Each structure stands twice: as C-alpha cells, then as structure tokens.
Amino acid sequence: MQKLDTAVATQYAAQVKAVFFDIDDTLYMKDGDLLRESVEPALRRLQDTGILVGIASGRVEASFPEKITALTKRLGIDTFVTGNGQFVKCKGKILRNAALPVATLQPLIHFLQTHHIDYATLNNDALKVSAITPKLRGALDPITLNYQVDPNYYLHHPVLQVLAFFNESQDHLFKHNPILDGLKVLRWHEESVDIFIESGSKAMGIACVAEYLGFGMENVMAFGDGLNDIEMLSEVGVGVAMGNAHPELVPHAKHQTLAVHEDGVAAFLAQIPWSE
C-alpha cells in the first residue's frame, strides 16, 4: 500500500462527507465468514467525526451476511445501496427502487428455462431460486442460505435483478443477444452472473444519496474489489481498491490499499486525520 501524502490525507479529511463500502472481500471475507476486528472501530471512528457510513453492495439486504447485518445494527448504519444500485435507502427513506419490468423479465426467464440455466430473482427483502441444484448451491451458498424455491416469483413481486447460474462455456448464448437489450450482465462467480438494468450501478445509487443529503460525488470515498465496483470507484471523489481487487478494477481507483485479510480498510482510513 502506498502511503498517502500528508497534504492529500488532510485534504481528504476536509473533502469527504460519506464513505461507502462494498461487502464481500472488502469489509468481509466471504470465504471463512470472517469480519476482521479492525473493521468496526474504523467505521465507528468515521461516524464519531460526522462522516456518513454506507453500504454499497451487489447483495440485497435479504442476503447480507449475519455478521454484516449485526455490524450495521450495532453502528446504526442506515444508508444502503443494494442490488448493484437498484435499491437505495437513506435514513429510512427509499430513494430508488428500480424493479425490472415484467415485460423484460418474462422473455429473459423463458430464455434461461429453455437453456436449462438455473436462476434467482431478487428484491431487497427476498431471494427466490428456480431450483436447488449443485451448480446453484456452489455459487450461492457461500453468499447466503436465505433463499427459497419459487421459479415464478417475478410474476407477482418486484425484482431488482436476476442471477443466472452458468459458466463461461455458455457466455456465447448471451453475447449480442437481443434478449439482453437494456440489461447489463456482470460475472461475479465462475458459475454465476448478475443481470440488471443497463443504466444501473452502485455509483448511480450513491449519487442518489449524495443528492438527497446535499453534497456531490466529489465528497464521497468508496472501497471495493470487484468488477461491479468499477463505476463506483471511478465516479466518487476518492475511490479505493482493495489489495485483493480484480486487476481490471485497479486502474479505475485513485488508490489501492492492502487486502481484506490484511485490514486494508482500516489501514487506509487510519492515514487520514478525520478529527483534525
């Protein structure tokens, strides 16, 4: 990790009004279900100096790890950008709830069923799957066990995004496919992708919060490690990639800290004189 110049660190202390954190492999190590002891005091220090602390995740709240849910309750964190920016809640107010139109979902689900591809449909409060299969469990179980079988959930409930469970050998089915017009596909696991509104991103969700609270994206710091963090780290004032970040994410960040297992979040934040 490159040490911050003192002048830059002091500038960030004055500039930043909110800090958003990705969950998996940023705040929390999903392999091993581990939340490093350094995380809570680092976030509490931010709050104690008047900085808004928010979560920005590809997960929905229904699939948050128990340790993250407990952390947010202990710290009173009430600002969430979930489903890759499709759902945004700040201080109890829903700012964005970008459900996919049924007219878009129906042909997509039919396509997945035709090609025998397992899928999940999500809103902020629920995660439903088409079937429980080894491929689906291999990708989803390390993330959450809080899901139920309901292949037709999307017909009766709003859906923020779809998870499709397939590996790169089937990527050709989705390339240049009109079934995906207006949709974005991001791979988050060797056996799964997120599918959601093309214009959606964590950055868009954070911008909703910034506008609501009356400051700009230049006043936001964010930490992330995955491909779904590219827009977020590019568009905030201070984007920080983890040491374990995907190589394609790093060029979009202003800084890179240590890896999640090396207390990267706390190490970076400790360089900034927040209380001065």
Active site residues: 22
Place of tokens 């998996």: 24
19 forms bridges with which residues in the sheet?
Answer: 53, 221
DSSP single-letter state for residue 77:
-
Beta strands in the chain (DSSP E): 18-21, 28-29, 34-35, 52-56, 79-82, 87-90, 93-97, 118-123, 126-129, 148-149, 161-165, 183-189, 192-197, 220-224, 238-241, 255-256
SS3 173: helix
Q: From residue 205, give the alpha-carbon distance in Å to each of 57, 77, 190.
A: 10, 16, 26
Helices (H), 160-273: 202-213, 230-235, 264-269
